[in-house]
């Protein structure tokens, strides 16, 4: 542990890349017809009452990495709609654009959605410096981020799927291709089940091809999870301030195989199981082996209690500790810190924990976005702001909406529905 701590200390003393969002522009995104924020700080606080759109801003930022964002919403669900439009028309085009610093020159990235006609497949458009990219994966070259939301507070009490999703988000910071492997694995798994259920005698060659795909990708997914847990476990187990340490372990068939032999043998074991389970999987409509069955086991390091049996405050503290441990290790090894989105992170934390949290987060040198209804929660940040005005920016969303609304809403009304696609095509120009 001492060696790792020394590495972290050296990393903090050396030049750490501070990639940050300096300009964020939203168009027809959730409650916003148009919103533009210009940022010149490491920490950003969005304060205001419930329902004014604070979390919507964080969701917009989360769309700047591959995946479905922090809410997991469908693309069409994100579009801004009035009550009348809900009843009379389909979803609008929407766009999120950001200017990033930390590179040799500022980078403009963005993503958006253009409704398809005649029931076509909804897809996101991704642009880097105005050039359209072939896939969402292009975003991984510019943005690494993680988020915590109030919905994740029950992570240790809910089913294994939520814990896998949480772990996979941590893994994706290290290995952006992880998200793509999961998508490909799930697609092959669905095709195999469809084949097993729709045909009395499915083509064995096609089944073998699908199972081979599942075996190679499934073991790769499990190996990436195991690698992260190995990295994370010694740091996560150590308490820091009032935050308890957490003991981590993985439970699942593929992890058992990987613990007993090399990856190639695990792949072969998985193929054998898939072949033997065809009849059962087809009858029940689910795959009984694979990385989709993995569970993440978390225990309080000092008490030894499963996280689900700990108090609400302890669970929140362990969750935060796991995220920050991952960020610390990543920053140490790569010399750059991911962007953090912390929605109502002060909830269930006492003042001592909040102060330690703010100090730790700001020491990581990455940009952090906070939301909260009570501005007093961020009093510790305000003290820092007084000493260093460029370190922390505090936005009152009552003020932002009133300032941006009248002018920009009228601005967008000049665009007819027929022209919204053209507007989407040029959304980078609006943000510059």
Looking at residue 375, the DSSP 8-state letter turns out to be G
- Closest to 72 (Cα-Cα) out of 138, 155, 166: 166
Question: In the Cβ-directed half-sphere of 214, how many Cα atoms lie within 13 Å?
Answer: 28
Q: Left (φ > 0), alpha (ψ -120 to 50) or beta: where does 280 sit?
A: alpha
Alpha-carbon gap, residue 229 to 170, rounded angstroms: 10
- Whether 375 has a pLDDT exceeding 90, the answer reads no
> So what's the pLDDT on residue 430?
37
- Binning pLDDT at 50, 70 and 90, where does residue 101 land? confident
Q: For the residues 251-267, what does the mean pLDDT come to?
A: 96
pLDDT of residue 258: 96
* Chain-centre distance for alpha carbon 223: 20
pLDDT category of residue 196 using cuts at 50, 70 and 90: very high
Mean pLDDT value of segment 182-195: 95
Please answer whether residues 250 and 295 qualify as being in contact, where contact means their C-beta atoms are separated by less than 8 angstroms: yes
Give the Cβ contact number of residue 51 at 10 Å: 10
Longest distance between any two alpha carbons in the chain, whole Å: 73
Label residue 123 by pLDDT band (50, 70, 90): confident
How far is the C-alpha of 48 from the C-alpha of 242, rounded, in Å?
28
Its sign, for the CA torsion 176, 366, 130, 123, is positive
Average pLDDT, the chain: 83
The C-alpha atoms of residue 348 and residue 314 are separated, in whole angstroms, by: 9
CATH no., domain 21-144+341-432: 3.40.50.300
DSSP letter string, 234-268: HHHTS-BTTBPPEEEEEESHHHHHHHHS-HHHHHH
Per DSSP, 71 falls in state: T
* Superfamily of the domain at 153-335: RecF/RecN/SMC, N-terminal domain (1.20.1050.90)
Q: How far is CA 262 from the centre of its chain?
A: 30
Q: Tens of pLDDT along 75-95? A: 989 988 765 555 556 778 899
What pLDDT is recorded for position 408? Answer: 36
For 248, phi and psi rounded to 5 degrees?
-115, 145
2, pLDDT greater than 80: no
Please provide the DSSP assignment of 323-360 as one string.
HHHHHHHHHHHHSB--EEEEETTTTT--HHHHHHHHHH
Instruction: Mark 231-258 as b/e (b = at least 16 C-beta within 10 Å).
Output: bbeebbbbeeebbbbbbbebebbbbebb
Q: What is the pLDDT of residues 223-248, one digit of tens each?
A: 999 999 999 999 999 988 788 899 99
pLDDT tens-digit series, residues 264-317: 999 999 999 999 999 999 999 999 999 999 999 999 999 999 999 998 888 988
User: Helix 160-174 vs helix 177-198: angle between axes, to the nearest 10 degrees?
Assistant: 140
Q: Where are the domains of the chain?
A: 21-144+341-432, 153-335
- Taking the CA of residue 134 as centre, how many other CA atoms within 13 Å lie in the half-sphere pointing to its CB? 0
Q: Does residue 364 contact residue 337 with C-beta atoms inside 8 Å?
A: yes
* CA–CA separation, 139 and 126 (whole Å): 8
- Quickly count: other Cβ atoms within 10 Å of residue 205's Cβ: 8
What is the CB neighbour count within 10 angstroms for residue 275? 12
Answer yes or no: same fold for 21-144+341-432 and 153-335: no
């Amino acid at each position: 542990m001492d060696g790792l701590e020394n590495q972290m200390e050296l990393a903090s003393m050396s030049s750490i890349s501070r990639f940050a969002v300096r300009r964020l522009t939203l168009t027809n995104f959730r409650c916003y017809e148009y919103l533009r924020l210009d940022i010149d700080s490491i920490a950003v606080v969005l304060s205001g009452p419930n329902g004014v759109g604070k979390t919507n801003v964080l969701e917009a930022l989360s769309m700047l990495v591959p995946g479905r964002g922090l809410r997991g919403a469908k693309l069409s669900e994100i579009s801004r709609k009035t009550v009348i439009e809900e009843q009379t028309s389909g979803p609008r085009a929407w766009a999120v654009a950001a200017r990033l610093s930390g590179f040799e020159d500022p980078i403009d990235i963005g993503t958006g959605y253009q409704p398809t006609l005649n029931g076509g497949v909804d897809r996101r458009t991704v642009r880097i410096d105005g050039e359209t990219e072939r896939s969402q994966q292009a975003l991984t070259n510019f943005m690494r981020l993680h988020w915590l939301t109030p919905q994740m507070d029950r992570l240790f009490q809910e089913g294994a799927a939520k814990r896998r999703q949480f772990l996979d988000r941590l893994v994706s910071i290290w290995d952006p291709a992880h998200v793509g492997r999961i998508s490909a694995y799930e697609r092959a798994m669905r095709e195999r089940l469809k084949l097993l259920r729709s045909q009395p005698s499915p083509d064995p060659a096609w089944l073998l091809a699908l199972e081979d795909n599942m075996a190679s990708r499934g073991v790769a997914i499990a190996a990436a999870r195991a690698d992260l847990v190995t990295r994370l476990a010694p740091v996560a187990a150590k308490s820091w301030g009032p935050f308890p340490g957490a003991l981590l372990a993985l439970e699942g068939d593929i992890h058992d195989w990987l613990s007993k032999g090399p990856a190639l043998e695990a792949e072969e074991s998985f193929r054998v199981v898939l072949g033997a389970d065809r009849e059962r999987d087809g009858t029940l409509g689910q795959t009984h082996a694979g990385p989709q069955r993995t569970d993440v086991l978390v225990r309080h390091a000092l008490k030894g209690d499963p996280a689900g049996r700990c108090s609400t405050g302890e669970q929140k503290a362990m969750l935060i500790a796991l995220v920050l441990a991952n960020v610390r290790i990543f920053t140490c090894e790569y010399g750059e810190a991911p962007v953090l989105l912390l929605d109502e992170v002060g909830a269930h934390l006492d003042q001592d924990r909040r102060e330690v949290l703010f100090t730790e987060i700001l020491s990581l040198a990455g940009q952090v976005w906070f939301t909260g209804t009570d501005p007093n929660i961020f009093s510790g940040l305000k003290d820092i702001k007084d000493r260093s005005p460029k370190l922390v920016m505090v936005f009152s969303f009552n003020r932002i909406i009133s300032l941006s609304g009248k002018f920009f809403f009228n601005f967008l009304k000049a665009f007819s529905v027929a022209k919204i696609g053209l507007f989407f095509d040029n959304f980078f120009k609006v943000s510059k």
